Amino acid sequence: MKIARPVWGLIAALVLLPVAYSQQVQQQEQLQKNGPPPAVKPATKIAKEDRQFALQMLEVADSTARGFEPPMRTWGMLQLGQTFNSSDPAKAKALFIDAFTASLSIADDDRTKETLQDEIFRGLLPLSQADVEERLAQAESPVRKRTSEAIVRRYVEKKQYGPAMDLITQVTGWDEFPYASGTSLLMAMPAEMQAEKMTLLTQAVASYKAHDHPGVQVGQGTMTQMMVRFGAKMPPKLALEAIDELLSQAKKSEEKASVVLSGQGGTAAFNSIYEYQLFALLPLLRNLDEGRAENLLKENASLNASLEKLPNGMQSLDPNMTDVPLKDGQNGGIGSSVTTGNSAASSVSANYLLEESRRKAFQIIADSNKNPLQAIAQAQGLPMTVADQRSSPRAQALEGIARENLKTSPGAARQAVDELRKTVVDLPLRAQVQFLASSADLYLQLGEKESAGKVVEEGFKLSAKILDHDLNPDDPNKALKAWWPSADAYRRFIDVETKLSHRGAVEILKEIKDPEVRMVESIMLSRALLGLAMKSVRTEENTKSGKSISVFDSN
């Protein structure tokens, strides 16, 4: 990405500003040694100056971002809007609108454009639904649909069922029935609105029949899950019509796929989209047409083992997958691993091991407060990595045990973190970053500042290596720089270093050699100073060797 010439002066300012702040921190540390003047509270003064410096950095980041090409300019305005969301809603709204305007200039990268517009509307919607609706027509088509679904959910939260139904009808006219928000609305509507529920379900079935679905559709927001939740309450004729269509489209699909599901009740693996759909729908079909259900099961005998273990299909995996919202204290959800293409068949066992290992890790974490030392031993028995090193159940379990026992058993938590540190060295580079950052944060919460500092120092060295990889002139990462793995790595360790030493975080910022990544991290440092954690993080690689995208909740 090219950088406009006038920006270089601002980039220099971004480098020089941390120098001034280092001097400011040194003066504050000296002040603390000698004692403050009467009537001055050092902690209050430092906090105020931290905020002032953070706002100064954000101003520089604003000016810098506006000089970048449209994708990074859009991302910069978006992040700044999120940063001011609570403290200055009017400024945040203006920044979100500027971000959307910038996004309209993004060319030849529809996916990046859509992703940024989604985030912009997600931030702007709570501030001004009217401004979102005014710009919907200019947004990419998938963004219009997803944002409209978000507006439907807002109506549902306010129990404004009429406007929600009207908007669902409008969205269905644009493209296809919005199954995710439709499911939310159906679960929220009171029993006396049964006629309206049937209208929505009829509309959903008709919309599904009117569209082809050649790929794999698993999880929330699918017609399949809607049928699992509401099929038993539908008129039998309508339910059978929906089942026929789901199975027919799955059988016609030429997409090679393997699907592995895991939930509270266990794990199940399927060798095709059709097998998955049959597993999900057979329990309902048995109640509607037992003879046909038995015939289908005979024709697909490979499902016998899964249905014997999980007789209610999806609801055996997740007993809380019903037609009503979760109650307080209830947990639900189904994990999934999907592989498509020629490697689908060979990946079933690996994906099964992945989901089963994750399930065991979560169970060990959940039970760890009963006997944390035993939990650590059980975690050591989990695989180091599974599914081509995409996941580390052992590291995941050790991290979870430490977090679960921080307050009640700090000694055991410390032991779990120590074991995690030993595990990290055998993981791929990006996984090392993830669990090193977690280790540093956990050490800090345990009061082990020296240990946290050593881990952070190691983490910054890894971040620099990953940045070199992203910048590789022979095969550079063509994804948006804000989503580079190196940007995520720096963010994680800057967040911990800011809690250890503001000056140390500022010094690291100056050492980042790429100006756009430096701008990204200046915003991250400002957010850390202001106590604003990232809610979710996206990483992306786009190189000759392939593409990968990860979206995850941030610690």
pLDDT, averaged across the chain:
88
DSSP string, 360-393: HHHHHHHHTTT-HHHHHHHHHTS-S-BTTTTB-H
pLDDT at 145: 87
pLDDT at 345: 63
pLDDT at 15 over 70: no
Q: Which of 378-387, 415-424, 432-441 has the lowest mean pLDDT?
A: 378-387
pLDDT at 117: 98
Q: pTM here?
A: 0.73
Name the more confident of 214 and 26.
214
pLDDT at 413 over 50: yes
* Structure-token pair, residue 397: 């379990």
pLDDT at 19: 39
pLDDT at 76: 97
Torsional sign, CA 225, 229, 234, 239: positive
pLDDT at 343: 63
Which stretch, 14-18, 352-356, 508-512, has highest mean pLDDT?
A: 508-512
DSSP string, 253-301: ----EEEEEEETTEEEEESSHHHHHHHHHHHHHHHH-HHHHHHHHHHTG
Checking DSSP bridges between strand 335-340 and strand 257-263, what pairing results, if any? antiparallel
pLDDT at 11 over 80: no
pLDDT at 487: 97
The answer for residues whose C-beta is within 8 angstroms of residue 137's C-beta and 6 or more apart is 144
What is the three-class DSSP state of 35?
coil
Q: What is the pLDDT of residues 18-38, one digit of tens each?
A: 433 444 434 343 333 344 333
pLDDT at 340 over 70: yes
Q: Specify whether the CB–CB gap between 417 and 446 falls below 8 A.
A: yes
Q: Which amino acid is at 248?
A: S
Name the more confident of 309 and 430.
309
* Structure-token pair, residue 448: 């082990």
pLDDT at 387: 67
What is the three-class DSSP state of 228?
helix
pLDDT at 440: 97
Long-range contacts of 213-220 (CB under 8 A, 24+ apart): 213/249, 213/253, 214/253, 214/254, 214/255, 215/253, 215/255, 215/340, 216/255, 216/257, 216/259, 216/273, 216/276, 216/338, 216/340, 218/259, 218/261, 218/276, 218/336, 218/338, 219/334, 219/336, 220/180, 220/183
Q: What is the pLDDT of residues 505-526, one digit of tens each?
A: 989 999 999 999 999 999 999 9
d(CA 505, CA 486): 16
Percent of the chain with pLDDT over 70: 90
Percent of the chain with pLDDT over 90: 72
pLDDT at 39: 38
pLDDT at 51: 87
Torsional sign, CA 62, 65, 70, 75: negative
Q: Which of 326-340, 440-454, 515-529 has the lowest mean pLDDT?
A: 326-340
Residues 81-88: what's their mean pLDDT? Answer: 94
pLDDT at 72 over 60: yes
Name the pLDDT band for 389 (thresholds 50, 70, 90): low
Residues 482-501: what's their mean pLDDT? Answer: 95
Name the more confident of 75 and 218.
75
pLDDT at 92: 97
Cα-trace Rg, the chain:
26
Name the pLDDT band for 43 (thresholds 50, 70, 90): very low
- Tell me phi and psi for residue 553, to 5 degrees: -70, 140
Residues 213-242: what's their mean pLDDT? Answer: 92
Q: Which of 1-5, 151-155, 231-235 has the lowest mean pLDDT?
A: 1-5
Name the pLDDT band for 82 (thresholds 50, 70, 90): very high
pLDDT at 246 over 80: yes
Residues 383-405: what's their mean pLDDT? Answer: 89
Name the more confident of 1 and 275.
275
